[in-house]
A and B are shown apart, each in its own frame.
Chain A
């Protein structure tokens, strides 16, 4: 066992697993844990199959930048819809009658979890393969990444219980903010944005989205030009 390589794989993989876990929790908040977990398992299955078939040649064959761009665009499309809708609903103090499922649906939750886990999982596979190839320490890298996976999965399981106590509209709002922030980060990276602090930029993006959408919700609430549900148009709320 090469402990240096194991620790490097652990640190790098833990960051990717945390990002994947945030997307999976957000996807679970859209509908339920079922489609979010199935989406995660499907992505893990695809990655396992592709890795088993291609092995180290995966490093040269899969364009990670393109994959990041496609998945970022999809998450951004879901995220913008969710954030705008949640902002509008907070703005008019709307109370949902049919629970969480009315806004998202199992298919969107499955797709969001699948995309998030596929991209982050691919990055973990790349980290393991790169460490394995350069340092001839594939086993140590796998052990480091596996420990990170177990720790992050355990923490996510604990977060699952906490989420049951969060109000529905706040959960939807948080989902919109996280999907929009990750989507902006990944699509931005794909079109050439050199983000400050790399992936850590997702933190200021999320805070920025929170501030701007909060201001819009406040504007809608104070404006009093907001119609009742029966007179709101255009886009179905």
Chain B
């Protein structure tokens, strides 16, 4: 069990790392999947916009001042 936990933590850290991106991407592609039928090819634009937003927010998160400063 301990070994499995360690392996799980390693895989999580390696593939996911920051849970913000992971959760944001799941939500984003959930929306994309729901809109695929009504929007057709325009859904690609939604996918791009959501991913670009995640990247932008992530870059902004890195640049924001630390709470104690």
A13 to chain B, nearest CB (A): 25
For the complex, what is the distance from the CA of A55 to the CA of B66, rounded to whole Å? 57
Q: Which residues of chain A are within 8 angstroms of B67 by Cβ–Cβ distance?
A: 233
Of the four ranges (under 10, 10 to 19, 20 to 34, 35 or more), the interface on chain B belongs to: 35 or more
Q: Is the Cβ of A91 less than 8 Å from the Cβ of B69?
A: no
Q: Is the Cβ of B47 less than 8 Å from the Cβ of A184?
A: yes
Q: Is the Cβ of B21 less than 8 Å from the Cβ of A180?
A: no
Q: Which residues of chain B are within 8 angstroms of A216 by Cβ–Cβ distance?
A: 55-56, 59-60
A209 to chain B, nearest CB (A): 6
Please pick, from A77, A92, A184, A231, the residue contacting B48 in the complex, using a CB distance under 8 A. Answer: A184
Instruction: Please report whether the interface of chain A is mostly helix, strand, loop or mixed according to DSSP.
Output: helix
Please pick, from A73, A84, A107, A232, the residue contacting B55 in the complex, using a CB distance under 8 A. Answer: A84
Report the count of interface residues on A (CB-CB < 8 A).
Answer: 44
Q: Is the Cβ of A83 less than 8 Å from the Cβ of B63?
A: no
Chain A 64-104: CB-based contact to B (< 8 A → 1; otherwise 0) = 00000000011011001101110110011000000000000
Please pick, from A107, A187, A195, A225, the residue contacting B65 in the complex, using a CB distance under 8 A. Answer: A225
Q: Which residues of chain B are within 8 angstroms of A234 by Cβ–Cβ distance?
A: 61-62, 64, 66
Please pick, from A195, A208, A232, A237, the residue contacting B41 in the complex, using a CB distance under 8 A. Answer: A195
For the complex, what is the distance from the CA of A233 to the CA of B60, rounded to whole Å? 11
Q: Is the Cβ of A81 less than 8 Å from the Cβ of B17?
A: yes
Q: Is the Cβ of A233 less than 8 Å from the Cβ of B65?
A: yes
Please give me the residue from chain B that is nearest to A107 by CB atom: B14
For the complex, what is the distance from the CA of A84 to the CA of B17, rounded to whole Å? 14
Chain B 19-56: CB-based contact to A (< 8 A → 1; otherwise 0) = 00110010001001100110011011001100110111
Q: Which residues of chain A are within 8 angstroms of B52 by Cβ–Cβ distance?
A: 208-209, 212-213
For the complex, what is the distance from the CA of A77 to the CA of B25, rounded to whole Å? 8
Beyond contacts A180-B51, A184-B48: 5 other A-B pairs, Cβ-Cβ < 8 A, are A111-B14, A226-B63, A227-B66, A231-B66, A231-B69
Measured CB to CB, the residues of A under 8 A from B are 73-74, 76-77, 80-81, 83-85, 87-88, 91-92, 107-108, 111, 180, 184, 187-188, 191-196, 201, 205, 208-209, 212-213, 216-217, 220, 225-227, 231-235, 237
